[in-house]
Structure 1
Amino acid sequence: MTRIEQRPVDPPVVVRRAPGVGTLVAATAAVASVVLAVALWFGGGTDREQILGLPDGGAFTAWALPVARALSYVGAVLTVGWTVAAAFLLPGLDRLVGPAGYQLMRRASWTAALWLAATVVALPLTASSLLGNPVDQVTAVTVLSLAMSVSQGQGLVIAAAMIAVVLAATRWAITRTGAAVTALLAVAATLPVVLTGHSAGSGNHAIAVSSVGVHTAAVVLWVGGLAALLTLPGTRDLPRAARRYSTMALWCFVLMGLSGIANTVIRLYRPDELWSTRYGVLVLVKSVVLVALGAFGAAHRRRTLPRLAAGGAGAFRRLAAVEILVLAGIVAVGVAMSRAPSPVTVDPAEPDVYTELLGFPLPAAPTVARLLGQPVPDAYFLLIAVIGGGLYLAGVRRLRRAGRVWPPARTLCFLAGMLVLAAVTCLGFARYAAVTHAHHIAQHLALLVVVPLLVGGGAPGALAGATLRSGPTPDLHGALEWWETLRRSGPARALGHPVTAVAAFVACLYLPYFAPVLSWLMQRHVGHLGMLTAFLLAGGAVTTVLRHRPRRVGGIVLALDTAALLLFALLVRRSDRLRSGEWFDLVRTDWAPVPSVDHRYAAWTAAVAAVVLVAAGLAQLGRPAAAPTDGGPGGASGTDERG
């Protein structure tokens, strides 16, 4: 094994603190502390009597819990920023991270430790806040009960476990792939706490939970990436890293804006609440600051990045330092808003039980107009559909500009898959999928069978291999190199294995309905998202086998999955009582059919899905192994088998 001490050392990269880093850290801490205190006071985040239904845990808890969360944010931001920079922004040494990336990974171990400590400290403080007991009266049994049975406690425990893995990885990972996995896990570790907070317990679960998750990920990537640039050891790699970061920051700005708007819409029911309530004023302040940050980004692109490329780092560092101070303020406002009461528009003494369970009131009897209308947008699936379709069209456009042909049928097939995905998860159909077996199984099979077959027919992998660009230099990976790394990775190979494909398909088909898990998943929007994502991945595994394995293997997988689907239809048809009925009994409506009729409709849906699977699967197995797309060398032909 290669010893770390024997790694080659690049002479220009010495352990030297960037100029003014100590001053910047002190100024950032001061700005964040002042803004947090003012925002907490103004928004009522420390006055527990203003929050209806919440007991008072005491002044210490009211102030200490936001401080713990702020420290957790600091650790998360720096850990994410340094690991992302080491993996994606800085050059490496063949498969290994470069000297600068190595130093950033080791720095990230210290911030991950801070992050973990703050998360652990937040457990008793959260118990104190929820139970209304001073923190010195919170016992270990109380904390354990919180961690086992309350969603906020479960989120903190899951986050702590993930952070512990990140901490270990920052000490051990020395490859680019290891750094990339660490960075992705660090971003994911920021989500459990926010996904089990206020948004998870409010109405409009789909848009609330998903938008908060998107917002948090965008914030930590934006702030962390900028902090990493300002703390790079040396300046030689700064110009290239800054150019790469600029693209990432633009995406983060857009995602922050869209997710912020979505969160505001579900929390403020009238426009005048933006200026007539304290929570609304904080939203306005955050929005103005976000616009200012957009101006900073434009200034970077037009002025400081060209100067940085020419060798002048001073202008970039000065503007970035001001930007990091502003970002620290906006993060502090966000922490305060998580503790502040949003305007109450309903009587908390008479809540709508169905809205608490579903995120929306019980729908009326289904009609075509209601199935296609009454949208209940989910930011998670909506972003997948919109970004996926946009990137696909951008790839087709790039291919055409290069004089190469991409079959229009593939484009239509892929876009149809994205449209079906958005329709069954974000339109009125998603409302009915939550209240009847027939609609739920129809949504289930659309994600398990229809969407993967349509997306696979568009050959997105072949398009990616033909259009993604390599890095500017061999030591700096581009999108193409990362795509090839992902395609050849162990998880990707395992997902495309025939045994995995059949096992995943059967598990996703049977477990939600014949095992006591559906009710638990449906009462937690994160669990619901995970279940629907599992359907997509299982269907994608089957499609991959049909497209890229030998015909005999694909035929066996198709036969097994079709048999499993037909048997599922038969069992649902003859079952008087499915284990999933526990959930549908909770949300039963006056117009809902009796279980036997509901099951009959669901069984017919499964039979139709089996026919679709057989027809599309045979079409996949009967297609040519590699069909030319432009009739000449250098075209997209030959890339289809990589799709």
Structure 2
Amino acid sequence: MAETRRPARQNPPPARRGGTPAAAGAPGAGGAVLTALASLAAACAVLLVALSAGGGLTPSVLGDPGALARYGLPLARTVHDLAACLAVGGLVVAAVVLPHPSPAWTRVVRAAAVGAGLWTVSALAVLVLTAVDVIGAAPGADGFGAQFAQFSQEIDLGRALLVTTVLAAVVATVGAAATTPTGAAWGAVLSVVALLPLSLSGHASGSASHQTAVSSLGLHLVGVTVWVGGLAAVLIAGPLTGRRPAPGERAVDLTAVAGRYSTIALWCFAGVALSGVVNASVRLGGWSGLATAYGALVVAKVVALVLLGAVGAWHRRRTLPLLASSPRAFWRVAAGELVLMAAATGLGVALSRSPTPVPEDAPGVGTVDELLGETAPPPLTAARWFTETSPDLLWLLVGGLLLVGYLAGVRVLRRRGDRWSAGRTAWWVVGCLALLFVTSGGPAAYGRLSFSAHMLQHMLLTMAVPPLLVLGAPVTLAMRVLPARRDGSRGAREWLLEVVHSRYLALVGHPLVAAALFAGSLIVFYYSPLFELALRTHVGHELMMLHFLGTGYLFSSVLIGVDPGAHRPAHPLRLLLLLATMGFHAFFGVALMQGNQLLAADWFAQVAPGTDLLADQQKGGDIAWGIGEVPTLVLVLGVAVAWSRSDTRENRRRDRAADRDGGRDLAEYNAMLARLADHDRAPERAERPGEG
């Protein structure tokens, strides 16, 4: 019998552009399910062990809610956190890592939508079980429905959990409907916003260092979800990378995807480490806190973070350079890393359920300290206004990153031989330092203690800092430094261009709209409950500073900016717009000086007892009226200088054009004048026919 041979394969596996098999070694559907189950099992196992060790499973002496809350709440919270990671990280990866359109992009976005749906369900379970834990009664007990309604509507913790549930449902809807990177980006932004209410609950809510605890926990949550969920998204997209794209689709290069995620993971690691150290220092109250059960859990989490950092370093040094030739090692290490991340997530949930060495409501704290969320500074003097500090972690990071990133961009330009104005660099450095001073120095320390100090901080934030930053031309620098992508994904440069040319910026960047936002928001903010909300809540305070800094930057950009984006009218109209807006600003100051209606009277009466509130408010109006003169003068000079330079450039352009064409424009203009003169003399010659 003749020997038969297996026929050769007619269709070899599709190859990547580098020539290796498509998605070699990538986990299939079974491997992805196994990794997910292993991650969930590791998280739950570590959670239960840590809770038992940290005392989180000990029944409460008063109002014990039973085993349902003791076991069900942390388990629901673990599923909640892992689902949030998938939603946030998946949408971020779709927005800034993966090419579009591609099957990998679609799969990741749909997985993020599923994660957001699970996030919604688990958030609702967390809300109900937290109410059971707080009320101390089972859901079927008499009066539980009324108590649950009161908890979710009137208690800060309940409201925060309810808002998270609603926002998670919105994220699920946006993720399911997203078909473009812009839709994924909106979903990512909403998902990050949905995380913020969680920073107001748990241990951070009762901290004596409330602002620092809330900011560090918020940063921690964002870093963890992007880090863990981003890796899960890369594993989900893995089997679809490296294939030949169908018509109308983009090729997905696994090496590029892994490299981009590695950069994001490095930033997340730094943010998680920094925020974790800050938050642990608040919760432990000193080195002695490490000797407690809570301290042991903190040490365990630090060990997990160090291990994850070591695995990430291994990825960058060993597996990423060999990814094109032997990707199997990358997938194995990535899957193991995801399981370790899930275990660390369970450890984090256990920490949030374990009693801390420092009581959440520290005894002996005065009323003013409780309202401020930190120790009140000593009485204000001229020297203390410059030397006292109130560090704001969020603005320290923002200002520091803006400063370091700008200087790094200037360094890149100089290394490749390009020039950049030293004056622009100086303006930016001074602006960033001024921003740090206003948000974390004396103005921040005293800005919530009196109306006049608050108004001084506000005027500096909205009128002094923005012009300095605008003169630095950061968008122009970024466009010259940031690399462009060619594979259909959107990096920092692509998203910056998307924002600059967006319809939204075209609307708010219109001179009249920018002026209305800059001046009109004063009335809306100060003569509404928003003012007192910004004084009483940390989130409201941060949003207030972001709004006034943003409107000030937008208005300054319209007047003296050189970056693309804002619509800039002719220079005479800029001066008229500036004078009209500043006139309205001065009118606001005069209204405060002469008015008798106290703003946020309840707040200032509590934090500054014995102060003449009306006199202090009138002093604030004097500051609003007087301090605006100097920035206005600077802006007027800036517009005048820009006007002069514009005329100079136009004259030089005309001179160069005349040199090129021999003064043709001037000759044509003179010829036109001669023709007009001849036309005017024609009737005179007709009346005197005897003349030549």
Fold match (TM-score > 0.5): yes
Within 5 A, what are the aligned runs for 1:206-217? 206-217=211-222
Is contact 1:190-1:217 (8 Å) kept?
yes
- Determine the C-alpha separation between the residues in 1 that align with 2:59 and 2:645: 66
The verdict on how the C-alpha distance between 1:321 and 1:208 changes in structure 2, with shifts beyond 3 A counting, is same
Within 5 A, what are the aligned runs for 1:53-132? 55-92=63-100, 97-132=101-136
Is contact 2:132-2:138 (8 Å) kept?
yes
Is contact 1:508-1:534 (8 Å) kept?
no
Task: Specify which of 258, 278, 284 is matched with residue 262 of structure 1.
Answer: 278
Does residue 554 of structure 2 align to residue 541 of structure 1?
A: yes
Is contact 2:377-2:446 (8 Å) kept?
yes
Match in the other structure for 2:267: 251
Deviation at 1:34, TM superposition (A): 0.6
- Determine the C-alpha separation between the residues in 1 that align with 2:43 and 2:620: 54
Deviation at 1:126, TM superposition (A): 1.8
- Determine the C-alpha separation between the residues in 2 that align with 1:389 and 1:497: 28
Does residue 54 of structure 2 align to residue 39 of structure 1?
A: no
Deviation at 1:622, TM superposition (A): 2.3
**Sequence identity, in percent?**
37
- Determine the C-alpha separation between the residues in 1 that align with 2:51 and 2:196: 22
* Segments ≥4 residues shifted beyond 6 Å: 10-16, 625-628
Residue-by-residue CA offset, 1:542-598 (whole Å, 9 max, x unaligned): 1122135112443343123211221121111122332222211111156xx522431
Deviation at 1:348, TM superposition (A): 5.3
- Determine the C-alpha separation between the residues in 2 that align with 1:315 and 1:456: 48
- Aligned pair count reads 608
- Determine the C-alpha separation between the residues in 1 that align with 2:168 and 2:644: 44
Deviation at 1:627, TM superposition (A): 7.3
Task: Specify which of 520, 525, 544 is matched with residue 538 of structure 2.
Answer: 525
Is contact 2:42-2:342 (8 Å) kept?
yes
Residue identity matched to 1:172: A
Does residue 339 of structure 2 align to residue 325 of structure 1?
A: yes
Does residue 110 of structure 2 align to residue 135 of structure 1?
A: no
Residue-by-residue CA offset, 1:598-628 (whole Å, 9 max, x unaligned): 1343123212332133122213322437979
- Determine the C-alpha separation between the residues in 1 that align with 2:297 and 2:385: 37
- Determine the C-alpha separation between the residues in 1 that align with 2:260 and 2:645: 36
Secondary structure at 2:377's aligned position in 1?
coil
Match in the other structure for 1:6: none
- Determine the C-alpha separation between the residues in 1 that align with 2:32 and 2:640: 62
Match in the other structure for 2:672: none
Residue-by-residue CA offset, 1:347-392 (whole Å, 9 max, x unaligned): 8565432222101233221134433344321111111100111111
Does residue 576 of structure 2 align to residue 563 of structure 1?
A: no
Does residue 218 of structure 2 align to residue 218 of structure 1?
A: no
- Determine the C-alpha separation between the residues in 2 that align with 1:176 and 1:627: 40
- Determine the C-alpha separation between the residues in 1 that align with 2:612 and 2:296: 49
Is contact 2:27-2:235 (8 Å) kept?
no
Residue-by-residue CA offset, 1:304-326 (whole Å, 9 max, x unaligned): 00111x23111111111221121
- Determine the C-alpha separation between the residues in 2 that align with 1:595 and 1:175: 53
For structure 2, list consecutive stretches of 5 or more residues without a partner in the other structure: 1-15, 243-252, 650-692
Residue identity matched to 2:630: V
Residue identity matched to 2:537: R
Is contact 1:445-1:606 (8 Å) kept?
yes
Is contact 2:605-2:613 (8 Å) kept?
no
- Determine the C-alpha separation between the residues in 1 that align with 2:105 and 2:307: 31
Within 5 A, what are the aligned runs for 1:288-299? 288-299=303-314
- Determine the C-alpha separation between the residues in 2 that align with 1:347 and 1:125: 23
Task: Specify which of 374, 380, 384 is matched with residue 370 of structure 1.
Answer: 384
Match in the other structure for 1:205: 210
Deviation at 1:345, TM superposition (A): 5.6
Residue-by-residue CA offset, 1:485-544 (whole Å, 9 max, x unaligned): 121123322331223322322343233432233223322211111111111111122112
- Determine the C-alpha separation between the residues in 2 that align with 1:618 and 1:448: 16
Deviation at 1:441, TM superposition (A): 0.7
Secondary structure at 1:434's aligned position in 2?
coil
Match in the other structure for 1:491: 504
Task: Specify which of 165, 169, 187 is matched with residue 164 of structure 1.
Answer: 169
Secondary structure at 1:363's aligned position in 2?
coil
Is contact 1:21-1:231 (8 Å) kept?
yes
- Determine the C-alpha separation between the residues in 1 that align with 2:526 and 2:173: 38
Residue identity matched to 2:627: A
- Rg comparison, structure with higher value: 2
For structure 1, list consecutive stretches of 5 or more residues without a partner in the other structure: 1-9, 632-643
Is contact 1:13-1:99 (8 Å) kept?
no
- Determine the C-alpha separation between the residues in 1 that align with 2:634 and 2:449: 30
Match in the other structure for 2:37: 26
State the TM-score, normalizing by the size of structure 1: 0.89
Match in the other structure for 1:155: 160
Match in the other structure for 1:615: 633
Match in the other structure for 2:449: 435
Does residue 322 of structure 2 align to residue 307 of structure 1?
A: yes
Residue identity matched to 1:365: P
- Determine the C-alpha separation between the residues in 1 that align with 2:139 and 2:580: 57
Task: Specify which of 454, 465, 478 is matched with residue 451 of structure 1.
Answer: 465
Deviation at 1:145, TM superposition (A): 2.1
- Determine the C-alpha separation between the residues in 1 that align with 2:504 and 2:158: 30
Task: Specify which of 181, 184, 197 is matched with residue 186 of structure 2.
Answer: 181
Secondary structure at 1:170's aligned position in 2?
helix
Residue identity matched to 1:555: L
Residue identity matched to 2:218: G
Deviation at 1:341, TM superposition (A): 1.5
- Determine the C-alpha separation between the residues in 2 that align with 1:361 and 1:176: 45
Is contact 2:199-2:215 (8 Å) kept?
no
Match in the other structure for 1:638: none
- Determine the C-alpha separation between the residues in 2 that align with 1:256 and 1:409: 36
- Determine the C-alpha separation between the residues in 2 that align with 1:481 and 1:508: 31
The verdict on how the C-alpha distance between 1:497 and 1:160 changes in structure 2, with shifts beyond 3 A counting, is farther
Within 5 A, what are the aligned runs for 1:343-422? 343-344=357-358, 350-422=364-436
Secondary structure at 1:135's aligned position in 2?
coil
The verdict on how the C-alpha distance between 1:523 and 1:55 changes in structure 2, with shifts beyond 3 A counting, is farther
- Determine the C-alpha separation between the residues in 1 that align with 2:234 and 2:210: 36
Is contact 2:592-2:617 (8 Å) kept?
yes
Deviation at 1:183, TM superposition (A): 2.0
Say which is worse superposed, 358-367 or 24-33, in terms of deviation.
358-367
- Determine the C-alpha separation between the residues in 2 that align with 1:347 and 1:178: 42
- Determine the C-alpha separation between the residues in 2 that align with 1:443 and 1:453: 16
Residue identity matched to 2:638: Q
Deviation at 1:31, TM superposition (A): 0.8
The verdict on how the C-alpha distance between 1:107 and 1:566 changes in structure 2, with shifts beyond 3 A counting, is same
Residue identity matched to 1:385: G
Secondary structure at 1:622's aligned position in 2?
helix
Secondary structure at 2:642's aligned position in 1?
coil
Does residue 518 of structure 2 align to residue 510 of structure 1?
A: no
Match in the other structure for 1:577: 597
Secondary structure at 2:543's aligned position in 1?
helix
- Determine the C-alpha separation between the residues in 2 that align with 1:373 and 1:297: 41
Is contact 1:211-1:259 (8 Å) kept?
yes
Deviation at 1:136, TM superposition (A): 2.9
Secondary structure at 2:179's aligned position in 1?
coil
Secondary structure at 2:113's aligned position in 1?
helix
Deviation at 1:102, TM superposition (A): 0.9
Does residue 242 of structure 2 align to residue 242 of structure 1?
A: no
Is contact 1:372-1:428 (8 Å) kept?
yes
The verdict on how the C-alpha distance between 1:318 and 1:412 changes in structure 2, with shifts beyond 3 A counting, is same
- Determine the C-alpha separation between the residues in 1 that align with 2:144 and 2:581: 51
